[in-house]
Structures are given as C-alpha cells and as structure tokens.
Structure 1
C-alpha cells in the first residue's frame, strides 16, 4: 500500500475556542476552514512518532485517565515557545526536561490535549 499523506485530527465540542487557540499558537490562519465543522492547519511536515515515556511520566500516559497521544511541536527556541504559550494563557505546568533527543516541556491546549514542545540539542 502506498500512502500519500498522514495527518492528525483532534475532536472537540469547543470548536471556535480550539481553532482560535491553534491560530494563535501556530500564528497562522487555517488552510481550510468550514465554520463550526472543520479547520486544517499545515506545518511544513508531520511525522508520527512512537515513544516510550520516561518512567517518571508513565502515569501521565496511562490510557485509563489520559490520552497516550501527544502533539509534538519542534521549536527552534524552547524558552520563546514557553513564553508564547504563557501569553496565550496556557503556561506549561511543569519544568523543562532533558531527553536523549533534546530539551522538552509538556503543555496542554484548551481541551487538555497534551502538547510536547521540543528543542533539539
């Protein structure tokens, strides 16, 4: 089977609030917008990653209470990205951690979907 594209969707009953959050976070208008139905944002590329969380974060990924799925956003400056989230009213609740692939911090969108802001080393 040949696949042409892969994209992630987030379901929400708070459509306008979530679309406005991602417009501000990504600093762009949706490429495709059907009011109160569907909004699509395009970022240069999208990858689907499968990872094992650090042991001290495993409970956060437990399927019974929180989603194991994360929207990972690679940024060029982690501190600037954190400041941007703070200005939107959604500051990350924890501290920056260092992983084998770089520095990262967890944050959440208005619906509680996990965002991982990541800066490569």
Structure 2
C-alpha cells in the first residue's frame, strides 16, 4: 500500500498569468512559490493550489470543459464572493442555489476551471 504525505489541487491554466492574478485576488494572498510564466503555488489552511502552464507538447490534454471535478471554496459571505469573482474576471454560471447544507453557486476562473462557492447554513452573511 502506498503512503501519501500530501495531496494538493493543480490547475492547468492558459492564460497562466491571468489565472494566477485571479487566485491572488480571490485568496487575497501572494503565491508561496512562484516561477515566472510557469508555476505559482498558493497555500491556504493546509491545502496547496498549484497553477501551472502546461508544456506545449501537453497543452491539448488540459483544454476543454471543466469535466467532473470542481474546486469548492467555503465562503463567509456568498454575495461578496460572487462580486469578487466577477471583479477579478471570473464568471458566474446561474443563480444561487439553496440546499439543505447551505447556499452555493457555480463560478469559473479565467481558464474556465469550475469553482463552487459555498456558504454553509452555519454561516450567516453580514447585514
């Protein structure tokens, strides 16, 4: 059995710099690791998010729709998160959905990677 020491999310991005800037603004943080035009890594609460520029021979593997995976972000204020995504050049897909576990909506970063913005029922927006 394999032993894993860590797991993180890696996002293939083209346009790379636009996506790095999007997450820089969304997470309100600078990358912990940064290699110009190639790789940026953000760390938040034990999760690492690596954003990389696919090499030319592998770019086709990372184009297309978001597929089945989504990057889910728990937020304190859903409306504020939606406004932030839009201000940073991301897109919102549809309306806010209310479910038993809270409120959420689907969004996309500039490379069309799917985000789920989720506000738990335990978190109430600021008045």
TM-score scaled by length of structure 2: 0.74
Alignment gaps of 5+ in structure 1:
47-63
Whole-angstrom CA distance in 2 between matches of 1:100 and 1:5 = 31
- Equivalent in the alignment of 2:50: none
The secondary structure found in structure 2 opposite 1:80 is helix
Q: What is the Cα deviation at residue 83 of structure 1?
A: 1.5
- Corresponding position: 1:86 with 2:93: no
Residue correspondence of structure 1 range 36-55 to structure 2 within 5 A: 36-46=37-47
The 1:38–1:19 alpha-carbon spacing in structure 2 relative to 1, beyond 3 Å, is: same
Alignment gaps of 5+ in structure 2:
48-63, 122-127
Instruction: Encode CA deviations 1:67-118: one digit per residue, 9 max, x unaligned.
Output: 1100000001111111211222324131000223211000000011100000
Greater fraction strand: 2
- Equivalent in the alignment of 2:14: 13
Instruction: Tell me the number of residue pairs that the alignment of Structure 1 and Structure 2 aligns.
Output: 104
- Equivalent in the alignment of 2:67: 67
Q: What is the Cα deviation at residue 3 of structure 1?
A: 2.3
In 1, are the aligned partners of 2:89 and 2:110 still within 8 Å (CA)?
Answer: no
The secondary structure found in structure 2 opposite 1:73 is strand
Point out the more displaced range, 91-100 or 69-78: 91-100
The 1:42–1:120 alpha-carbon spacing in structure 2 relative to 1, beyond 3 Å, is: same
